[in-house]
Amino acid sequence: MPDRAASPRVRGLPSRLLAVNAMHADRLVNEGLAAEGARKWHFAALTALAEGGPASQSELSRRTGIYRSDMVAVVNELAERGLVERTPDPADRRRNVITVTTEGRTHLRRLDTVVDAAQEALLAPLTPADRAHLTDLLTRLLDHHDHTT
């Protein structure tokens, strides 16, 4: 979809460029994940569990930034598909520990491929050096705003 903003001044605003590119990125990732029967929150939760180990739903919510109330639905969906399992926390039987299953790890590897392909499509016109530089700049912006808010 071509950029049809009325004015070059508007088209060139960094905030607008970030927003429009974020929409493209979101679409690419969402479409890819949907083809695998997944959503971004599934990917985030599985990644957090695979990288950080088992966690309570509350801890998993903190690791991913997904609201606790939404995390319940995410874990339910993943558990129904056998991608994670809930077991009682030995330290606190009122709480469950969520663990990624072998099937969940296999599914995550497929999702990693999908997300990598979405990144490749998004960044196709950039050289590897440009990509690294863009990632560095975006990280610096995010770090700055995370520390000032």
CA distance 147 to 143: 6
pLDDT per position as a tens digit, 81-92: 999 999 998 888
Q: Identify the CATH number of the domain in which residue 62 sits.
A: 1.10.10.10
| Backbone angles phi and psi of 19, in degrees to 5 | -65, -45
Residue 12 in domain: no
Q: Which CA distances in Å does 79 have to 44, 55, 58, 132?
A: 15, 14, 16, 36
Residue 72 in domain: yes
Question: For the chain, how many structural domains are there in total?
Answer: 1
Has residue 114 got a pLDDT over 80?
A: yes
Q: Which CA distances in Å does 90 have to 64, 95, 131?
A: 23, 9, 45
CA distance 100 to 82: 9
Residue 5 in domain: no
Q: Which CA distances in Å does 92 have to 33, 97, 99, 102?
A: 35, 10, 16, 25
Domain region containing 37: 17-148
Query: Average pLDDT, stretch 8-33?
Result: 94
Query: Average pLDDT, stretch 6-22?
Result: 89
What pLDDT does 64 receive?
96
Residue 8 in domain: no
pTM above threshold 0.85: yes
CA distance 127 to 136: 14
Residue 1 in domain: no
Structure tokens at 60: 């998993």
Residue type, 116: D
What pLDDT does 5 receive?
63
CA distance 123 to 125: 6
Query: Average pLDDT, stretch 53-61?
Result: 95
